[in-house]
Structure 1
Amino acid sequence: MTTITEKLNQLLELDGALAAAVVDYSSGMLLGSVGQGIDLELAAAGNTEVVRAKLKTMKMLGINDNIEDMLITLGTQYHLLRPLTKTQELFAYYVLDRSKANLALARRKLQAVEEQIAL
C-alpha cells in the first residue's frame, strides 16, 4: 500500500516544487507532508480557514458546486489548494517557486496525484 508521503513525493518531482501536504479541513490537522521552506503545520491550519471560508461563501450564495482548486499567487510563490474528490474534508496543499514552476503542469500533476490518494 502506498503512503500519503510517497504520493506527495511525486509532486516534488516538478521543477519549482517546494512542499506539499494533505490536510483535514474539519480539524486543520496535517495528515502528511513533504518538502521544505515553509512551516507546513502552520500553513495547514491557516489554509484550512481559507477552504472553510470559500465553502461557507458558496453555501451562502446558493452555489451548489465543487471547488476544483484554489490558487493563491504571491510575489515569489504559487500556493495551490485542491479538495480531494474521493475523501471529503481533506485537501491537498502544494507550494511552488513562481520563478521556476509551470503552473499548468503543476495543476495537472496535483490532479493526478490527488486521484491516487485514498484514505
Structure 2
Amino acid sequence: MAAVETALKDIMSAIEGTIGVALVDYNSGMALGTIGGGSDLDLNVAAAGNTDVVRAKLRAMELLNLNEAIEDILISLSTQYHLIRPLTSRTGKGLFLYLALDRNRANLAMARHQLKKVEADLEV
C-alpha cells in the first residue's frame, strides 16, 4: 500500500506527459495532496472546480437512476487532458484523483491504466 505522497510522486514519474496530480476530497473540495501544476495550473483551484464536476455527475446519475460507479471522467481540452478518477476503496470513499496531462506528450490509454494501478495500491 502506498501513502498519498508516494502515490502522487509515482503518478508524476510513471505517466508520460503529466502536468500535475492531486488527491481531492469531493465533500469539501480540498486537495489532500498535490504535485506539479505551477503558474499555468493551480492544482488547489482545479481541485475545488473539479469537485463541482464530480458532484454534478453523481447528481445526474442519481436522477437517471443509474446504479453504477464512475470509473473516470475525461475532459479534453485543445492542449490538455484532465482525468478525474473517484476512488473506490473503502478508505477512499469521497476522494478522487485528478490528473492533468499534456495532450501532445501523453498516451491517454496508458495514463488511465497507470492511474488505475496506482489507485489499487493507494493507502488513504
Q: TM-score normalised to the size of structure 1?
A: 0.96
- Paired letter, 1:57: A
| CA offset digits 1:15-60 (Å, max 9, x no partner) | 2111101000000010011112310110000000000000000000
| CA offset digits 1:79-109 (Å, max 9, x no partner) | 0000001111000000100000000000001
Residue 99 of structure 2: aligned partner: 94
Residue 8 of structure 2: aligned partner: 8
Structure 2: which 5+ residue stretches go unaligned? none
User: Which segment drifts farther, 12-21 or 24-33?
Assistant: 12-21
User: Which segment drifts farther, 7-16 or 79-88?
Assistant: 7-16
Q: May I ask how many residue pairs the two structures share in their alignment?
A: 119
Say if 1:2 and 1:115 are closer, same or farther in 2 by CA, change over 3 A. closer
Alignment map for 1:8-47 (pairs within 5 Å): 8-13=8-13, 14-37=15-38, 38-47=41-50
Q: CA RMSD in A?
A: 1.1
Q: Give the counterpart of 2:111 among 95, 100, 106.
A: 106
SS in 1 for 2:105: coil
- Paired letter, 1:84: L
Structure scoring higher RCO (CA < 8 A, sep ≥ 6) equals 2
Query: Is structure 2 residue 87 aligned with structure 1 residue 84?
Result: yes
SS in 1 for 2:61: helix
Structure 1: which 5+ residue stretches go unaligned? none
Query: Is structure 2 residue 21 aligned with structure 1 residue 51?
Result: no
Report the Cα offset of residue 78 of structure 1: 0.3
Report the Cα offset of residue 117 of structure 1: 1.4
CA separation in 1, counterparts of 2:99 and 2:2? 19
Report the Cα offset of residue 2 of structure 1: 4.2
Instruction: Write out the 4+ residue segments of structure 1 that deviate beyond 6 Å after TM superposition.
Output: none
Seq. identity, %: 51
Report the Cα offset of residue 12 of structure 1: 1.2
